[in-house]
Amino acid sequence: MHTVRRLGTLPQPPRVTLASLIAATMLLSACEGGQAVNPADSASAAPTPVPTVQTTARPSAETLAQGLKHPWGLAILDNGEMLVTERGGQLWRLSADGQQRQPVRGVPPVWAQSQGGLLDVVADSGDQPWVYWSYAEPGTGREAGLAGTAVARGRLVGTQLQDVQVIFRQQPKVDHGNHFGSRIVLGPDNTLFIGLGDRQQDNPRSPDTRFAQNLGAHLGKVIRIQRDGSPAPGNPSWNGQAALPGIWSLGHRNIQAAALNPQTGALWVAEHGPQGGDELNIVTAGGNFGWPLHSYGCPYGSLPGKGCQVGDGQHGPGFIEPITTWVPLSMAPSGMAFYTGNRYPGWQGSLFVGALRGAALWRMTLDGDRVTGREALYEGELGRVRDVRQGPDGLLYVLTDAADDGRVIRLTPSGS
């Protein structure tokens, strides 16, 4: 049975209605050039099945590091060294070959329960780069016992984080342990995108507009801020509706994969559906992606089939359609990378997304903004794939999730 948990105080502005949200997305924003999306101009056709493609010369999987405890995020520095988070709260700095591992000091306390803990990590360029990480932050004072997604940054000097500051805090905090989202992406012009989950507050059996559809809460949103935490110019104004600062899009369930398309600069995300209905979305300013009012997935415990899809499945024309989905079973997406190198024959321009369910690395071929083919690589061989990144050497690195033996894996081209 789905129950809504205790919440911290919902910040002002107050809750908005579904009708007003749809109206807002159909008008242009006037705030600093930010523009809301008219759903009529967005993809309103339901996604169609995608044919299977097959890699003929599959790269070998080489383990660089192992023995990690529920690793979650992987960042690769300019010199090939790596940063790896463990959900329990440890950040590691690994040598480029993965053989040496040193703890990084300076990470603030995390709420390491259920799906919470130390989560994603990304890094700027440079010898002493700014590092950004997301985590479940424990509440204090009136919010004691609650937790929410937060993002902090610090300058990495050796194995010490200096000048640490929290640059984003989810509002409100809740006492549920799931759906922290937490993928973070370095955007252009010194911006930062944060993909959030609905903290499992939305109930697809009786959907409403209190959480992922509420501009007065961060739950189920994509946030866009400056890298120092200040407001980013060009965000939607939501047609003057009261909204928390930084909201870029709404109607998301649980974003755990995100990357910028190098060809277009657009933010792509993959998010968990309920029972089936995982989605790949192109996130646009002011976009509403429908959760929890529409999903190609079903409430947990439903018999698989179209008849149980939330809101009859189809998102359009009122909400933005995903560009591909996984039905009737979820693959549980986590981690994303557009491959721009030339080390793997036939893979240049492909999109890679990790899968926790089925323990695979999904490869998708693209034609502009369309997915033209996809395949599940290494299915059942590597373990639960939590993250995937391209290194400065043009190779792909995969992070697998396990309680005591998470691994960093490098994909080595055939014949190397």
Active-site option among 70, 176, 179, 218: 179
The verdict on whether 179 is a catalytic residue reads yes
Three-state SS for the chain is CCCCCCECCCCCCCCCCHHHHHHHHCCCCCCCCCCCCCHHHCCCCCCCCCCECCCCCCCEEEEEEEEECCEEEEEECCCCCEEEEECCCCEEEECCCCCCEEEEECCCCCCCCCCCCEEEEEECCCCCCEEEEEEEEECCHHHCCCEEEEEEEEEEECCEEEEEEEEEECCCCECCCCCCCCEEEECCCCEEEEECECCCCCCCCCCCCCCCCCCCCCCCEEEEEECCCCECCCCCCHHHCCCCCCEEEECCCEEEEEEECCCCCCEEEEECCCECCEEEEEECCCEECCCCCCCCCECCCCCCCHHHCHHHCCCCCCCCCCCEEECCCCCCEEEEEECCCCCCCCCCCCEEEEECCCCEEEEEEEECCEEEEEEEECCCCCCEEEEEEECCCCCEEEEEECCCCEEEEEEECCCC
What positions carry a catalytic annotation? 179
